[in-house]
């Protein structure tokens, strides 16, 4: 079996390192031909596999959602949360972290009453060009954002539970585990209209369309969500309900079923 988390190195090569691009180009096509089954985390990635590798790959592709674990003791009531907009993930070009910072700065200019809200960014920096690093540093400063770098899991879980909004407007994803983890804590999420992210957050998150007006549109949604307590409370409930559909137990059961089917071991 072969697991393909995403095809972003092939679909968006300019957003990945040369090493990553070469690995996918040289390895994946041969692997797809040889394996008995391909596991992917979303229907969006399944479509990418079909489009890139053809019908033969499609016939042996299985969508198995990733999962999330619930800890009800960590779920915090909406009214008791910190005025934090949270991002968790590696900082690299396709994640649109600079754009998110600029949108937050714009939101604070447009709505001075949210000046006491904080943008907290958790995750190490991945690869960035010199220009992208300079752009990120400027955007962070303009937004007054708090870049915390890598943090222990317990603290990340605390942030998920106590943040009021989670923002993840990546250009492309294979699944989008951070938004799912946020929803599992009852934290309202804003995602981009990337197919995988909208699939995971379906019916539970705010979706911002990628494109020229994305920064402006994201700023407007930040203002809206920070100001409307009732909306956050509703998204809290819908996020928990949506996240409940994604379990590691179901992922394991389906993975074992695929393995049994291709090996002929159905015991």
Q: Residue 167: beta bridge partners?
A: 190
pLDDT score at 63: 98
What are the beta bridge partners of residue 122?
88, 149
Taking only the tens place, the pLDDT of each residue in 81-116 is 999 999 999 999 889 999 999 999 999 999 999 999
pLDDT in tens, 140-155: 999 999 999 999 999 9
Q: Which of 209, 172, 216, 175 is nearest to 190 (CA)?
A: 209
Average pLDDT score over the chain: 92
pLDDT of residue 73: 74
Boundaries of every domain in the chain: 2-67+247-263, 72-243
Specify the pLDDT at position 22.
Answer: 77
Q: Do residues 99 and 137 touch, judged by C-beta distance below 8 A?
A: no
Query: What is the rounded distance in angstroms from the CA atom of residue 192 to the CA atom of residue 208?
Result: 5
- Global pTM reads 0.92
The class of domain 72-243 in CATH terms is alpha beta
């Amino acid at each position: 079996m072969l697991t393909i988390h995403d095809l972003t190195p092939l679909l968006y090569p300019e957003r990945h390192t040369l090493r990553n691009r070469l690995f996918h180009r040289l390895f994946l096509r041969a692997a797809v031909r040889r394996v008995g089954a391909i596991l992917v985390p979303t229907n969006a990635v399944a479509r990418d596999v079909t489009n890139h590798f053809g019908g033969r790959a499609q016939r042996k592709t299985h969508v198995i959602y990733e999962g999330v674990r619930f800890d009800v003791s960590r779920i915090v009531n909406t009214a008791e949360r910190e005025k934090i907009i949270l991002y968790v993930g590696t900082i690299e070009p396709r994640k649109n972290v600079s754009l998110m910072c600029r949108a937050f700065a714009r939101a604070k200019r447009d709505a001075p009453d949210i000046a006491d809200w904080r943008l907290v960014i958790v995750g190490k920096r991945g690869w960035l060009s010199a220009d992208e690093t300079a752009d990120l540093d400027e955007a962070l400063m303009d937004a007054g954002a708090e870049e915390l770098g890598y943090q222990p899991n317990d603290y990340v879980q605390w942030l998920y539970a106590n943040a009021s909004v989670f923002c993840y407007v990546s250009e492309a994803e294979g699944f989008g585990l951070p938004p799912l983890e946020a929803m599992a804590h009852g934290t309202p999420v804003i995602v981009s209209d990337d197919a995988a992210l909208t699939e995971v957050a379906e019916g539970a998150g705010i979706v911002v369309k990628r494109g020229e007006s994305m920064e402006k549109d994201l700023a407007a949604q930040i203002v809206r969500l920070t100001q409307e307590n009732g909306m956050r409370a509703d998204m809290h409930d819908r996020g928990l309900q949506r996240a409940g559909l994604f379990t590691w137990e179901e992922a394991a059961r389906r993975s074992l079923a695929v393995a049994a089917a291709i090996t002929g071991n159905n015991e």
